[in-house]
């Protein structure tokens, strides 16, 4: 049993917005994901760190969910990204998954999941580019509440946190999120969102007791990154 993480699959099997047109390694990315998941076993766990499907609704994203559920191995925990317009209430998403037989897809939102004795926590997070946009403060505060609710749900367990937005980027620090990670003793934090030229600006490695990892699909070569055995 192993724990993996990958973000930004940007699937478009039921919508006309494939990523191949962007180049930069995205050509044939669906096949690359199939190949990249080869080391993942059926009993392994994979956290998907947002921007999973271009579908505008659950129905439009159905083919993408079918791909994630049945063509890629492992139990998958899904996190919201800034392009996941299909995202809905947890109750509606879980009902949709159940109705369609997507039994290997689970929602990580205002809760935590268990990987052995380790708690998997997370939320979408926040990014400095959003500052100053309408209602940004309200949305930001809501993300802080969601992250803390997830961390609190973990109790005294060892915690691994997953975000879509990077809490660290160039000289930018989302101090409020970083403080939550450090206060609750998070050991590892994985995030996505950064693509192409932005990869070189990512922060990885130990910072303030937290080990940060960028797991955007094009950064990790469309191969989920192993986080824990």
Beta strands, E only, the chain: 3-6, 45-48, 75-78, 105-107, 113-115, 118-123, 158-163, 168-169, 172-173, 186-191, 205-207, 210-214, 225-228
Whether pLDDT at 193 is above 80: yes
Assigned CATH class of 3-228: alpha beta
Domain boundaries, the chain: 3-228
The closest of 151, 142, 89 to 122, measured between CA atoms, is 151
Whether pLDDT at 27 is above 70: yes
105 CB burial (10 A radius; 0-12, 13-18, 19+): buried
pLDDT of 62-74, one tens digit each?
999 999 999 999 9
pLDDT of 86-126, one tens digit each?
999 999 999 999 999 999 999 999 999 999 999 999 999 98
Q: What pLDDT is attached to residue 22?
A: 61
Q: What pLDDT is attached to residue 50?
A: 97
């Amino acid at each position: 049993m192993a724990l993996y993480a990958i973000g930004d699959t940007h699937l478009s099997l039921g919508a006309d917005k494939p990523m191949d047109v962007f180049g930069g390694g995205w050509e044939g990315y669906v096949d690359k994901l199939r190949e990249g998941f080869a080391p993942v076993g059926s009993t392994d766990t994979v956290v998907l760190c947002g921007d999973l499907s271009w579908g505008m609704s659950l129905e439009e994203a159905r083919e993408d969910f079918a791909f994630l559920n049945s063509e890629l191995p492992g139990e998958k925990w899904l996190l919201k990204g800034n392009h996941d317009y299909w995202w809905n209430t947890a109750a509606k998403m879980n009902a949709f998954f159940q109705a369609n037989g997507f039994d290997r897809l689970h929602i990580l939102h205002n809760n935590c999941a268990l990987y052995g004795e380790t708690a998997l926590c997370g939320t979408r997070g926040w990014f400095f580019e959003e500052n100053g946009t309408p209602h940004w403060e309200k949305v930001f505060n809501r993300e802080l509440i969601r992250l803390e609710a997830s961390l609190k749900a973990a109790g005294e367990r060892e915690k691994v946190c997953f975000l879509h937005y990077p809490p660290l980027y160039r000289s930018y620090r989302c101090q409020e999120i970083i403080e939550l990670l450090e206060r609750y003793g998070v050991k590892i934090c994985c995030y996505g969102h950064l693509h192409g030229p932005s990869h070189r600006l990512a922060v990885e490695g130990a910072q303030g007791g937290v080990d940060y990892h960028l797991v955007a699909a094009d950064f990790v070569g469309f191969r989920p990154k192993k986080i824990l055995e």
